[in-house]
Structure 1
Amino acid sequence: MADSGSEEIAVIGNTDLTPSESENNLKNTMVEKGTNLLKRMEINVAEAEKRTGKNAVNMQETYTVYLIETRPVDAASEGTNPVPDSLWRRYSEFELLRNYLLVAYPFVVVPPLPEKRAEFVWHKLTADNMDPDFVERRRVGLENFLLRVASHQVLSNDKIFYSFLTEENGWKETVFETGFQAKADSRLKALNATFRVKNPDKRFAEMKHYGDELQSVISQLLRVRARAADRLYGVYKVHGNYGRVFSEWSAIEKEMGDGLQSAGHHMDAYAASVDDILEEEEHYADQLKEYLFYADAVRAVCRKHELTQFELEMAAQDLTSKKQQREELATGTVRTFSLKGMTSKLFGQETPEQREAKLKMLETQIEEGEELVKERNTECDEYVKSAWVDIERFKEQKDHDLREALISYAIMQISMCKKGIQVWNNAKECFSKM
């Protein structure tokens, strides 16, 4: 993947952090500037295991855990092969990690997790999240998630992520100590509030719209693929009927019997091969689903920019209002209707002392407002800079990944068609020898 920038970007634009938290964030980075964790550590999700235990409300439940193995890259280059460090994680812990990353790095298009339950599947494939085939595909997806994060210039440097990979006990407590949940709740309320940005950044507005369209297009593609898979399954299984009929026919023929029997075997093998073919297709469908979920991550970055811009505009509007109040108080002229103006007319003007005190208070508020606007401007500018660097990185990654996935899918379809032609060529040879 393309680099997303230098280590400083890990703090820039993170508007939920105080200066001291930002300083701690820099201290928490695990590798030197300009590198990512994947260059120093091999990471894989080696296997999945079903377990039974009691949940938070003391009820029995069955769940799946995944074995994460890590080892230093240096060991392989030095010719040694040490036993990898390993620990088990539940899917919910992967979710916790991603939720933390979303809050800690709002300007990053955070890689998505694989689906928790199967969607857009052909009807012969189970949607059971405990199905071994689905669990295996989810294992691959979880490994891909870790590799995405570990190769990201910013996310891979996070101490919490490093702890997730290396510390089996106490990791959750470390995450909760960051207070990210409170920040996530406050952000969610702000994002759900009804607000309208007066001067939206055209690039982010277009990117948000693109995220909507990308999700819509990939959803349609996955639905088409599921319907095509259903029909393909039916076509292949019908060839099993060819096999049965040819075999039954061979029993009543003397001269033609061997040829019909052989042709029937080819048809049976062809019919049975569809399960492996469609399972392979699911692999490519999962690659598309990753970008279906990536669309949400793109929109989240754009929404955070809207919120940052909105906070800037509200601060600027409040400052303008305070300055207008100061001018009205100083000149005694009320430009706009206000309750304050009506009160003055009904109950008389304020004394000079009262006016002086209010002017002094307004001056203090204006100074604070000017400082706030300056801070909001800096935050917004830095967020735009950091977020757009990561969006450009994401676009490069997306173009490469989807191009490769679609080419591989086309090659698989061509190979599948060639196998069908070969089956009928074999059948033709059998018929020719009768």
Structure 2
Amino acid sequence: MSEHTVPADLSGHMLDLDEDEDLEVFSKSTSLADGSSMPNSPSSMVNQYRLEEDDEEQQNGNTKDIFITVDNPESHVTAIETFIMYRVLTKTTRSEFDSCEYEVHRRYQDFLWLRSKLEENYPTLIIHPLPEKFVMKGMVERFSNDFIETRRKALHRFLNKISEHPILSYNQHFKVFLTAQELAPHRKQSAGFLSRMGETVRAVANSVRGLSSRPEEFTLMQEYLENFSNKICSVNKVTQRVIKEQREYLDELKQYSPTYVQWAGLEGELAEPLKDVASCVERCSKETEEQIQHLSQVLLPILHEYVLCGETLKAVMRRRDNIQAEFEAKNETLASKKADKEAMQVEVDGLADRVEMANNALKGDWSHWQNSMRTDLKSAFISTAEKNVEYYEKCLAVWELFLLSQRVEPRKELDEEDVS
């Protein structure tokens, strides 16, 4: 347990949005403008990882028995609110389902309900985070296509992470979410306000009281988590800064090309080379734009997702500690109590069992989460490395082709000297 950690405060980079509005978030053409093809460097490693990844995907497909798709987002406008409704398609071979296919429509608040029920039933399992109730400044506009697509992808991943979980995927609330045409009757069955308030008060009391001794394995988990969160937050922030700087560079490139075209109009012998340079700059601008899009849509979302995972894990660790703290408090009360020890002993024994169950659940899910995290991040990093190699190879090929076009054959040079 070493490297890896959790999120810093991102509030300075976010815009708070209204939950009721459901505004939470979270081609390789290689030719120049003149039609000339660009040579690709033989050193490219872009395709060398594909076979291994395809094999892994095929193995996962052979073991999965629930396949979920979140698509077809639609805006709904009422007298009091505007929200997005998503279609959730499910295909399954599990015997506990009455059918093998389902189609339902859900809004963001329904996803929140599902996650809260899973968290309530399994307080020390690691439940994948949902996109937040705010969005990054400057990244998306309200109800823009980019915003809606970002949200859809995050909700799709959320449901599929649950479907791949060996325990969460068998939860009754998850089944209801996927199959019930109307969720309202099920949502009304949630715990009452006073019950939730009582749980919150007990949790706060246990948190203030603290633990007498946390098991060493969970202390190591906590240290690992802090390291992970710090590192993933740093990488996330640097990636945002790189994207910002790349966008500024792209803006400069877009001004650069027209300048060469205008200059070409003032020159005679240099006109064609200047136009070729303008064409090269324009092509590199397009490649830069694609690279920025890849960073924004592939690398940044997965980094931010695991920033949120860090916060989720911190909450899970707090809940585990609260369960142990409640057990310790009751055990101390039992030791000092003179009357009614039998009833108190039953309660203490029940809490001891709860602590053991919570510890076992977290230990098992910790390994599952780590494997998933490493797979997700490895895939994102490899994809980004491939895109970087492709980007620089294409830009290099653009300028190599320009150099080839500007070369003058030695024989031709001699003939021109003789004529002079």
**TM-score exceeds 0.5:** yes
Which residue of structure 1 aligns with residue 184 of structure 2? Answer: 172
- For 2:88 and 2:240, the matched residues in 1 are separated by 32
Shift of residue 195, structure 1, vs aligned partner = 1.5
- For 1:157 and 1:136, the matched residues in 2 are separated by 28
Q: How does 1:343-422 map to 2 (within 5 A)?
A: 362=339, 365-422=340-397
Which residue of structure 2 aligns with residue 146 of structure 1? Answer: 159
Equivalent AA in structure 2 for residue 305 of structure 1: R
Shift of residue 146, structure 1, vs aligned partner = 0.6
Q: Deviations over 1:229-253 (max 9, x none)?
A: 1211222332223311221122123
CA distance 1:433–1:244, change in 2 (3 Å): farther
CA distance 1:280–1:417, change in 2 (3 Å): same
- For 2:245 and 2:115, the matched residues in 1 are separated by 37
Q: Deviations over 1:347-391 (max 9, x none)?
A: xxxxxxxxxxxxxxx2xx111222222222122112211221111
Picking from 128, 131, 138, the partner of 1:114 is 131
Q: Deviations over 1:150-189 (max 9, x none)?
A: 11111111121111112121x1321331427665443332
CA distance 1:417–1:63, change in 2 (3 Å): same
Which residue of structure 2 aligns with residue 335 of structure 1? Answer: none
Shift of residue 223, structure 1, vs aligned partner = 1.3
Question: Do structure 1's residue 305 and structure 2's residue 339 form an aligned pair?
Answer: no
Which residue of structure 2 aligns with residue 26 of structure 1? Answer: none
Q: Which moved more, 1:61-70 or 1:210-219?
A: 210-219
- For 2:365 and 2:358, the matched residues in 1 are separated by 11
Picking from 248, 251, 255, the partner of 1:237 is 251
Contact 1:284/1:405, CA 8 A, preserved across alignment: yes
Which residue of structure 2 aligns with residue 128 of structure 1? Answer: 141
Contact 2:225/2:313, CA 8 A, preserved across alignment: yes
Which residue of structure 1 aligns with residue 227 of structure 2? Answer: 213
CA distance 1:167–1:181, change in 2 (3 Å): farther
CA distance 1:41–1:385, change in 2 (3 Å): closer
Picking from 239, 245, 252, the partner of 1:225 is 239
SS of 2:211's partner is: coil
- For 1:239 and 1:427, the matched residues in 2 are separated by 17
CA distance 1:182–1:40, change in 2 (3 Å): farther
TM-score, length basis structure 2 = 0.74
Matched length = 343
Question: Do structure 1's residue 49 and structure 2's residue 24 form an aligned pair?
Answer: no
Shift of residue 417, structure 1, vs aligned partner = 2.0
Contact 2:225/2:310, CA 8 A, preserved across alignment: yes
In structure 1, list runs of 5 or more residues that go unmatched.
Answer: 1-35, 75-81, 324-361
Q: Which has the larger radius of gyration?
A: 1
CA distance 1:112–1:313, change in 2 (3 Å): same
SS of 1:288's partner is: helix
Which residue of structure 2 aligns with residue 349 of structure 1? Answer: none
- For 2:184 and 2:191, the matched residues in 1 are separated by 12
Contact 1:260/1:430, CA 8 A, preserved across alignment: no
Which residue of structure 2 aligns with residue 334 of structure 1? Answer: none
In structure 2, list runs of 5 or more residues that go unmatched.
Answer: 1-60, 410-420
Picking from 201, 204, 215, the partner of 1:192 is 204
Contact 1:113/1:141, CA 8 A, preserved across alignment: yes
SS of 1:89's partner is: strand
Equivalent AA in structure 2 for residue 190 of structure 1: R
Which residue of structure 1 aligns with residue 8 of structure 2? Answer: none
- For 1:44 and 1:315, the matched residues in 2 are separated by 46
- For 2:283 and 2:194, the matched residues in 1 are separated by 58
CA distance 1:202–1:284, change in 2 (3 Å): same
Q: Deviations over 1:28-58 (max 9, x none)?
A: xxxxxxxx9x83332101222222113xxxx
Report the identity percentage. 22
Shift of residue 84, structure 1, vs aligned partner = 5.8
Contact 1:117/1:129, CA 8 A, preserved across alignment: no
Root mean square deviation of aligned Cα: 2.8
Q: How does 1:243-258 map to 2 (within 5 A)?
A: 243-258=257-272
Which residue of structure 1 aligns with residue 175 of structure 2? Answer: 162
CA distance 1:403–1:40, change in 2 (3 Å): closer
Contact 1:49/1:64, CA 8 A, preserved across alignment: yes
Shift of residue 83, structure 1, vs aligned partner = 11
Equivalent AA in structure 1 for residue 261 of structure 2: S
- For 2:319 and 2:263, the matched residues in 1 are separated by 69
TM-score, length basis structure 1 = 0.72
Equivalent AA in structure 2 for residue 228 of structure 1: V
